[in-house]
């Protein structure tokens, strides 16, 4: 079993919010937002229009955006782990921000390599070690020690690759294989 950190592939188009005030809403990612969600207005900036579109337009590292094909493929699998929130994409296909609600206390801090602030809080994680029994059956999750990252299983990566999807990059951060 392998765990990957989910990243945007910046060879493709990205999205930006039209209204700076919408960034306040995004600070609440990780908490349920579906009730009261008004479609966030986003656009592809002129400086990125020359890049190809993808199934996962780049947005924020902790908020993957799914295009229609990607949502259709992953929706049933991911519904229990978060919520799909529709975006209003200027001149484009429907896209959906995935708000990951599945936060696990799965980081093995003793065996991970962490850099701490003087107050003991984690500043950075150089090497992730997860409690296997806590991540074994998970497809997508976050950890409180690294709230800016989303982690996915090798199953997620396999589905992504087998369906020829584009727009994401995966960095392997942990494996239970020797």
Q: What is the dihedral of CA 106, 113, 167, 13, to 10 degrees?
A: 120
Q: What is the pLDDT of residues 18-44, one digit of tens each?
A: 998 888 888 889 999 999 898 899 999
Helix H segments across the chain? 22-26, 68-78, 132-135, 154-162
CA 45 to chain centre: 21
Instruction: Express as a percent the part of the chain with pLDDT over 70.
Output: 99
- Say if 6 falls within a structural domain: yes
- Bridge partner residues of 97 (DSSP): 65, 85
Distance CA 91, CA 63 (A): 21
What is the 8-class DSSP label of residue 69?
Answer: H
Distance CA 172, CA 3 (A): 6
- Say if 125 falls within a structural domain: no
* Domain hosting residue 56, numbered range: 2-105+130-175
- Say if 113 falls within a structural domain: no
Q: What is the pLDDT, as a whole number, of residue 61?
A: 84
Number of domains in the chain: 1
3-state secondary structure of 125: strand
Confidence grade of residue 178 (pLDDT, cut at 50, 70, 90): low
Distance CA 9, CA 170 (A): 9
- Say if 60 falls within a structural domain: yes
- Say if 94 falls within a structural domain: yes
pLDDT at 85 over 90: yes
pLDDT at 89 over 90: yes
């Amino acid at each position: 079993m392998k765990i990957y950190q989910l990243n945007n592939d910046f060879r493709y188009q990205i999205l930006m919010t039209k209204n700076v005030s919408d960034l306040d809403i995004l600070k609440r990612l990780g908490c349920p937002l579906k009730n009261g969600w008004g479609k966030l207005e986003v656009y592809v900036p002129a400086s990125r229009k020359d890049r190809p579109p993808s199934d996962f337009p780049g947005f924020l590292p902790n908020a993957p955006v799914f295009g229609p094909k990607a949502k259709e493929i992953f929706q049933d699998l991911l519904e229990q782990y978060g919520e799909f929130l529709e975006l209003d994409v200027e001149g484009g296909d429907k896209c959906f921000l995935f708000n990951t609600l599945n936060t696990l206390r799965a980081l093995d801090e003793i065996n991970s390599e962490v850099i701490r602030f003087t107050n003991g809080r984690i500043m950075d994680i150089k090497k992730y070690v997860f409690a296997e029994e806590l991540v074994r059956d998970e497809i997508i999750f976050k950890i409180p020690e690294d709230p800016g990252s989303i982690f996915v299983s090798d199953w997620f990566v396999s589905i992504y690759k087998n369906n020829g999807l584009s727009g994401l990059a995966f960095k392997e951060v942990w494996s239970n294989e020797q």
